[in-house]
Structure 1
């Protein structure tokens, strides 16, 4: 760390140690081991509050003159994590990107609530498999099991509240994490049970099974970007939509599975009727649209009906341009079309279009990978190597996303990849929308330069 930055860092840190909680500002700084980006960017909701460039020792400093108390998140591309900030906080973090969440530690004023939230997040990562194993139980026994898990977490929070002078807002945020995570499992139980018991009907639920819904606030502005609150809302509307169709349609379960248009229109209608908070409403509409357009692969006519209903109900949704781009991307990826007009870089730094690449080979499979997501990178390489051996009639073309040019070249060399079959983009957002990339398992199959399957999957389509 150079001396001027070191002095300012120490002065800020000492100053923050004497900041009273009533001070309007906050201090956020730390060290990133094995950085994957030059910057740390701080967001409130989805708005950039501030950013800082890492110095030569991979440290950063963000000093906020004023802070709106509540949940923020910091982004060190491609990863992000939450941070709860209150007036007068002086938070330091340290993390290693090779184990981003597990290595994250907060210290300083405000550390208690933030370490609790991180530990809670980590504790929930393996939890769904455990709760799923309970789902073959009847509703009463399942609820008892779930209550015991929730009680342990509430007791941990109560101990923290006793030991540390948490603000009411911080305590409420922590409790919301516990409550809404619990509610998600309750919403999922009927479907998990049907799958586990291999029955074609949903279990009969006690009248009080969903009593917690009486406490749900569909328009809590403070929780709009809270991961468990938002995930609960998505799961809840899936449940409500399914149940609405299930109770009214003959041979309901199979009709719901088959008629995805009707099911997703039902979700749009429910969100429209129950949610008025602007950010949450826009994000939920966006979630339904992306899920339908990317994953359903419906007919052109049904896609047109859905997108018309989306625009009619969501009004001035701030994601409308993105959804429209994805809709156009879906249309462009229909069989027998040429590939969208997207250019990528070859290893010489020359731009070449996807169509030009496709026309060089009779049968081509485009696949996508990121050098900043190690597990994805390794899995994709392993799968492509296997497919190249088993399906020699195809030429597999890799498109790199979210990796700078130097690191990309290094990865190609280290992994001995054929540079004639590797390309990269420096505009992933445009590529993602144009090619409707919902996940990095996606493949696009072409023959003689024309699309055969614009929505292939490396693991299920071959």
Structure 2
């Protein structure tokens, strides 16, 4: 009998422990007609249904304790701190998602502190979504900027101390985060200051605080808590790949080499996402790049994205049939790829809001002029939104754009754009007289290699 009682006691105790680990997230978002909100974290995403009155409630099986993002839309998101056993309640308004945010329940102290911390940072850097505000803070000289950051760190530490949070794990990690926040600001200073002062060649002095190349990239506990730390190791990783090339190595090779020094599977997987751009048509061995990325990523959603891009790129290799289109022409009616058969076609995929695209216009006009009368058509396809249709027509007229001017039917989501795996513009493509791909990532008009390519195909 005693054994049975003892066993029941153990079962009861275990059940209580399991119950305490359940994390609940609930609350209200007023003034929204959205059907759900999303909680995002490291290799984690969960959609939480919203009732018609904006109420929501869900239990969470957290993959880790630390920082997550709560998203209503891409523009309306805010970070929340979660631990096993939290019963966190959130109230906010859709129209003022961040400023109206209030927390109650278990975990309120940590998350209310985060609101106050954010206000302290905004007092120096302004609204983080307004890049002009941010640039103003970085426009000052080195000495002033260093002092600004050091003063800000003191204010943040004082705010943390005055919050009287009893959760020592949070406090310890937050002190690290404040230090990394300062380092992250110093890391951004050179490019931001250069941009703010129109000095693209700007470099900081030797005495300016810098993140060392041997910066610790394996602190998984801090990685879970600190967005600043995540940003820093990402910056160190990309610096190693692109700023310190070794003879005979591609940037992809450098990236793979650096990843092998990262012992944390979680961190290595997240850093691997910085390698996605290496999966492109210019890669010497696209299969090698694909396999390398997949081998280091544990994020199934990201891996699906990588696989989709890989399979798309394989379909647009040299000699493959080009994806087709039938798009509206600025002169009226539609133009299809089929109607251009029998001629080489040089595509310029662009948009009216794209500065680098517009910068290529003078060079494109020169190339068009030089090849006028030859067996080639120059086709510009705008991926502007339909709401900017008249803006597109006006720019075509104002800049006296030549060639065939078309507008895609669904901006970035247009079939032609997606099948060519276009994720950045301008993008230039050359196809032959049979509608087969010569280069799905052709040289720009301003690049002398374009004329070499055109000569190579007999033009």
Separation of aligned partners in 1, 2:162 and 2:395: 61
- Judged with a 3 Å threshold, the aligned counterparts in structure 2 of structure 1 residues 120 and 396 are, in CA distance, closer, same or farther, namely farther
2:310 is equivalent to residue 327 of structure 1 = yes
Partners of 2:439 and 2:93 lie apart in 1 by 39
Give the one of 388, 392, 396 matched to 2:393.
388
Structure 2 distance, partners of 1:213, 1:119, is: 33
Larger Cα Rg: Structure 1 or Structure 2? Answer: 2
Inter-partner Cα distance in structure 2 for 1:68 and 1:198: 42
Where do 1:302-451 residues align within 5 Å? 303-305=283-285, 308=288, 311-312=291-292, 315-318=295-298, 319-320=302-303, 322-333=305-316, 338=321, 358-359=336-337, 380-381=385-386, 383-391=388-396, 393-399=404-410, 434-436=419-421, 438=423
**Which of residues 125, 136, 140 in structure 2 aligns to 1:130?**
136
Aligned residues of 1:180 and 1:228 also touching (Cα < 8 A): yes
| Cα drift, residue 281 of structure 1 | 0.6
1:184 CA displacement = 2.3
Counterpart selection for 1:31 from 21, 24, 28: 28
Cross-structure match for 1:283: 270
Residues in 1 aligned to 2:206 and 2:417: alpha-carbon distance in whole angstroms: 42
Q: How many residues align?
A: 362
SS at match of 2:219: coil
1:243 Cα offset (Å) = 4.9
Tell me the secondary structure at the aligned position of residue 410 of structure 2. Answer: strand
Structure 2: state its 5+ residue gaps. 1-15, 326-333, 352-383, 398-403, 447-459
CA contact (8 A) 2:272 2:296 kept: no
1:45 maps to which residue? 42
TM-score normalised per structure 1: 0.60
Q: Which residue of 1 aligns with 2:52?
A: 56
- Distance in 1 between residues matched to 2:423 and 2:118, nearest whole Å: 24
Per-residue deviation, 1:280: 1.4
Task: Give the match's secondary structure for 1:304.
Answer: coil
Q: CA deviation at 1:443?
A: 7.5
Q: Residues 159 and 444 (structure 1 numbering): CA distance in 2 closer, same or farther, change over 3 Å?
A: same
CA RMSD of aligned residues (A): 4.9
Q: Equivalent residue for 1:205?
A: 206
Give the TM-score of the pair, scaled to structure 2: 0.60
The unaligned stretches of length 5 or more in structure 1 are 1-18, 250-258, 343-355, 369-378, 402-422, 426-430
Which structure features the higher share of helix residues?
A: 1
Distance in 2 between residues matched to 1:72 and 1:202, nearest whole Å: 34
For residues 291 and 327 of structure 1, what CA distance do their matches in structure 2 show?
11
C-alpha distance in 2 between matches for 1:98 and 1:424:
31
Partner Cα distance (2:317, 2:96) in 1: 39
Distance of 2:200 and 2:73 partners within structure 1: 44
Matches of 1:366 and 1:104 in 2, distance apart?
42
Q: Distance in 2 between matches of 1:93 and 1:327?
A: 41
Q: Which residue of 2 aligns with 1:269?
A: 257
CA shift, 1:452, in A, is 9.5
Tell me the CA shift for residue 175 of structure 1: 3.3
- Check 1:309–1:25 CA distance in 2 against 1; reply closer, same or farther (3 A cut): closer
Alpha-carbon distance in structure 2 between the residues aligned to 1:88 and 1:365: 54
1:90 pairs, out of 64, 87, 90, with 87
